[in-house]
Structure 1
Amino acid sequence: MSSNAKGDLQTYVRIDFPDKERLGPGKMQLLEHIRETGSISAAGRAMDMSYRRAWLLVSAMNTMFAAPVVDSQRGGAQGGGAVVTEFGEELLRRYRNMQAKVDTALESDFEWINRNRSSH
């Protein structure tokens, strides 16, 4: 999509599961931060959330699928750590691909909305 077609408008893909679980931009951003930092705690801090909240989101994602999304090890002499699993990487890739498809499909609609927005 061209850089100005959406302007400052945003779309977000959110998948609602029948059991009320959700998969959306926040969890995907958390996965990206875990990938970058190797830590659930650091990923949570990067998003201004508590370790407990980040851990609960990771736990929820790990129970949503047959394979784990994040593999973590408890702290100890070596310290803890977390890694996005191969399945988690594929989930993240597919989610980002879905978001790109939505943005591309809606490009002309965003252009129309931007042309017709109020200027105040």
Structure 2
Amino acid sequence: MEQNLHQRLQGKLQVDTEFGTFLGDTRIRLLEAIAVHGSISRAAKAVPLSYKAAWDAVDAMNNLADQPLVIRSTGGRHGGGTALTDYGRKLVALYRALEAEYQSALDRLAATMADGQSGDLNHFRQVIKRLAVKTSARNQFSGTINALREGDVDFEVCVRLDGQTELVAIITRESAESFGLRIGMEVTALVKTSSILLHTDPDLKLSARNQLWGEVTRIADGAVNAEVILTVPGGKTVCAVVTHASVRRLGLAVGVRACAVFKASSVILCQYA
């Protein structure tokens, strides 16, 4: 929210969760550019964003939304591309309509402000900044609790992300009671990339509760490590950071089937306000 010398308020609508921005002007412009260009690379240039930042934003939105907003298309005269789903197009239209109403409300507020109220406005802006909460966890999944198993010390919590994907978290009894966890409650599950292991052997037996099979859809090389993006059934994505040696040893490449493995104790649950 910005203020000019004439006390005009200019705002951009931003849809936040307690883990950071879900939808904002940049992400909406990215979605609009995807709809126009049908390509993530051309859309990223139009915003502008880096190619990696654009894909990271798409993955985050798809993981937190009830339905995918963006899908990868294959085949066709140009060999496939990227497109908005019907749900994605509706969300963009709704955002733009709400943004127009929001700006109209700010204009009405600015028209009624007296000159002596600028200090109150600045104080309000500071309070809003303090309320913003962000997390460094790369993997963020929105879902619904569909099972609770009570132990002597902790709780096992099953979180259904979609019709095909479920996560299991272990939290303390104190946390479960503090959250007031119940079947049907919406929560967000956070998993750090460093907590995720990858393997490609379907016969490998592991004790870790969370084993999500999917297809490698993107690999971003760094100086020492590589980010491997795995798309699981249902369209959710999981990001793991592994060494280049591990990429070579496992034969990881786009299109390869792999499994993301992480312990239930590595999942952090966050409750919606």
- Please, what TM-score do these two structures have when normalized by structure 2? 0.36
In 1, Cα distance between equivalents of 2:80 and 2:52: 15
Report the counterpart of residue 89 of structure 1 in structure 2.
89
The 1-side partners of 2:50 and 2:40 are apart by 10
Which ranges in structure 2 are unaligned for 5 or more consecutive residues?
1-5, 116-273
Q: How many residues align?
A: 110
Write the letter of the residue equivalent to 1:58. Answer: V
Tell me the CA shift for residue 106 of structure 1. 2.0
Deviation, 1:58, is 0.6
Letter in 2 for 1:53: A
What's 1:43 paired with? Answer: 43
CA distance in 1, matches of 2:98, 2:36: 22
Structure 2 counterpart of 1:49, one-letter code: L
Is residue 14 of structure 2 the alignment partner of residue 14 of structure 1? yes
Q: Which has the higher strand share?
A: 2
Three-state SS of the structure 2 residue aligned to 1:68 is coil
Q: In structure 2, do the counterparts of structure 1 residues 110 and 74 end up closer, same or farther at CA, with 3 Å as the change threshold?
A: farther
SS at 2:11 equivalent: coil
Counterpart Cα distance in 2 of 1:10 and 1:46: 23
Worse-superposed segment, 36-45 or 9-18: 9-18
The structure with the largest alpha-carbon Rg is 2
1:38-117 map, 5 Å: 38-73=38-73, 78-111=78-111
Secondary structure at 2:54's aligned position in 1? helix
Please give the root-mean-square deviation of Cα atoms over the aligned residues, in Å.
Answer: 2.8
- Between the aligned partners of 1:92 and 1:83, the Cα distance in structure 2 is 13
Q: State the distance in 1 between where 2:48 and 2:19 align.
A: 27
Percent identical pairs in the alignment equals: 35
Identify unmatched segments of 5+ residues in structure 1. 1-5
